Chain A
């Protein structure tokens, strides 16, 4: 007769060993498959031509994604520096012709300003269009990183959208109150070139709006055209005796306003 208890123990031992062996083989196979899979993925990533294209977006987004406010500001500054370059080119066309000529005509012939204004408008209107494209790009980038930059994005988008809407309205009725609003808004968000343009447009429509002249002069200072700003303010003060303009002129002279 067979000792079944002893034999059962041997059988359990045998089963344990056989399961252990199967487990080892199974784990081995899984590890092998995983390593193959990982190696394959790495190979595909390295060899895929898309790979080079893919990071382009993330790299851009990363710059904004890492968004601390500082980085965003840096970004904005960069874009402004680019805009300054554009201004440098445009300013030669814009600042020389319209501003000084119509200033000299303020006292004598207001109606004669019109053809000048038309010229200015033609040139100036182009600027917001170019700028809008840039702004759309900015907004798109910001939208990519909506979640991370939510507070900043909301503020900017709102302002930009407001301005955009006002620009549309202004283009329809040429109301100087609207162009002044646009100039003010652009100045607030440090878009000095645009602020300058819209202040100029406002002055062209109505040259008695004090705030428009102030924004105009301030924008010039910010665009490193301090001497022109001083010249313009002196002419305006002579015409209007504006206290705010005088104070601003003093501040520019003293260096309090830079």
Chain B
């Protein structure tokens, strides 16, 4: 094995949200299918929630990617905290209107109500827990008009649960919870991800034992697992570059290197 293989394997696990990197796993596919069906219903809102790193953003990206060709869909990965800015951007995207002046909620509602759209636009809001409460209240009012649908993602914390209860209790058509991967799912995820990038050799190096160790360290969290495996391949690469006397087992991921990666990213305390 040469260094380039480890570099390309490492790059597979870069922490980026890209619909192209979406890995189809049985459970995830079922959830995604459920989300797609929810959108076709006359919903006001869909709440997608889960712990950080469970793939909410990836879901949203995938949904946007899949819907964008057939449906008017607008995704906002970064929260627009400023209210005026939020409505201004929405108006520009939805109605292709450029407002040089300020556009407040009332003005936006007028525009929305007067609009005659063939398909109900879908607005995807990531990291909704970062929106101010007052803005969230206005988003709720917008969804009540049924002129626009919202799919929002929230981190599952006590505070965010409260937000969900307060603002979306009566409006949420469906709420979907995303969870960490099981050990088996994690193995499938790692191998599929590597094979998708044609890194078959490194994909085969992940046996059950090594995946179990990774799962033990990351609890099956996708973001943590990506980070760990990225560091793992980085260590492999470093050893090769240094021409170290360390001997690799090319058929199996080294337990020692997994632990070293865990130490490096702070999952293990030395």
A residues adjacent to B (C-beta < 8 A): 1-4, 7-8, 10-11, 13-15, 17
Please report which residues of chain B, range 236-265, place their CB below 8 angstroms from some CB of chain A when the two chains form the complex.
237-239, 241-242, 244, 246, 256, 259-260, 263-264
Cα A1 to Cα B242 in complex, Å, equals 10
In contact, B237 and A1 (Cβ under 8 angstroms): yes
Contact A14 B263, CB 8 Å, known A2-B231, A2-B234, A7-B235? yes
- Asked if B268 is at the interface (CB within 8 A of a chain A CB), the reply is yes
- Asked if B269 is at the interface (CB within 8 A of a chain A CB), the reply is yes
In contact, A11 and B259 (Cβ under 8 angstroms): yes
* Interface size classification for chain B: 10 to 19
Partner of A4, one of B239, B259, B268, B269: B239
A13 — nearest CB in chain B belongs to which residue?
A: B270
The residues of A that contact B259 with a CB separation of less than 8 Å are 11, 14-15
In contact, A11 and B231 (Cβ under 8 angstroms): no
- B213 shortest CB reach to chain A, Å: 13
In contact, A11 and B235 (Cβ under 8 angstroms): no
B residues adjacent to A (C-beta < 8 A): 231, 234-235, 237-239, 241-242, 244, 246, 256, 259-260, 263-264, 268-270
The residues of A that contact B263 with a CB separation of less than 8 Å are 7, 10-11, 14
In contact, A17 and B237 (Cβ under 8 angstroms): no
In contact, B268 and A14 (Cβ under 8 angstroms): yes
Partner of A1, one of B234, B244, B268: B234
In the assembled complex, 10 residue pairs joining A and B whose CB atoms fall closer than 8 Å, in A order, are A1-B234, A1-B241, A4-B242, A4-B244, A4-B246, A4-B260, A11-B260, A13-B270, A15-B259, A17-B270
10 closest Cβ pairs, A-B complex = A10-B270, A14-B270, A2-B238, A13-B270, A11-B260, A4-B238, A1-B238, A7-B260, A10-B263, A2-B234
Cα A77 to Cα B73 in complex, Å, equals 117
In contact, B264 and A7 (Cβ under 8 angstroms): yes
The residues of A that contact B260 with a CB separation of less than 8 Å are 4, 7-8, 10-11
Q: A10-B260, A10-B263 known; 4 other A-B pairs, CB under 8 Å?
A: A1-B234, A4-B260, A7-B260, A14-B259
